[in-house]
Amino acid sequence: MKTSQNTVLITGGSAGIGFEIAKQLSAKNNHVIIVGRNTERLEKAAGQLQNATAITADIADAADVDKLVTKLNHDFPALNMVINNAGYATLNSIVNDDDIFDKASAEMHTNYLSVLRLNQKLLPLLQKQQESAIVNVSSIVAFVPGRLTATYSATKAALHSYTQALRVALADTTVKVFELMPPLVDTEFSAEIGGHNGIPASQVADEFIAALETDNYEIRVAGTEQLYQLFLSSPAEALKVMQAPR
């Protein structure tokens, strides 16, 4: 996949992994469109980028998504890359929390169902392009769940399965389907689960760009590859490692 002269939509693009990817892609002569719920934060982020547009929208809200898709079709008909980075997570106990269903529902809606909806609505536009891509950002927990992020892990497992199926379904089209699987990353998003112990978001962006250039469709960043290999050889041992204190 080419890494310059693209028009790229990045959800959750005002901070963390999304912003670092936006920064690198904008520096490589791409037009980046960053989307998020907080207008002030978006505009501040866009001001630090070259050739960027900020659009306020909540990808979990159906009406916002419809408005976003309409605007993209009208104002950005050359859109050829969608990076589904926005996410939602809670720390919870699947045994003791009385509101576990509500927490899991919110996570599944944002992390999986909303991604599916946005992709479905943008596929007609992407398929008009000579070369295009969908990038779904999942996680190492798609393979090995964390004890206190069990419901979040389940959403990423669903996203991983969907991404594989989507890649097969689009194999004979111009749309390439990538999955970016970071380990723990030091961002505001992950602060509650010990994110300060994680890798920098810039490293995720570096490895993502390198993989994009070589059409590496499953991008297991940094330690994710080692844990994935352990999962393949010994699922029980990988599960044990994931529960270790961070």
* Residues with catalytic function: 152
- d(Cα 64, Cα 104) in Å, to the nearest integer? 22
The SS3 assignment for 99 reads: coil
- d(Cα 123, Cα 126) in Å, to the nearest integer? 5
The partner residues of 175 in beta bridges, in order of sequence, read: 132
- d(Cα 98, Cα 55) in Å, to the nearest integer? 36
Cα–Cα nearest to 68, from 95, 116, 112, 34: 34
The partner residues of 36 in beta bridges, in order of sequence, read: 56
Concatenated DSSP letters of 168-235 = HHTTTSSEEEEEEE--SB-SSTTGGGTGGGSB-HHHHHHHHHHHHHTT-SEEE-TTHHHHHHHHHH-H
Contact 194, 184 (CB under 8 A): yes
- d(Cα 185, Cα 206) in Å, to the nearest integer? 13
Region of residue 5 (left: phi > 0; alpha: psi -120 to 50; beta: else): left
**CA–CA distances in Å: residue 11 to residues 65, 96, 101, 230, 236:** 11, 33, 25, 31, 34
- d(Cα 206, Cα 221) in Å, to the nearest integer? 10
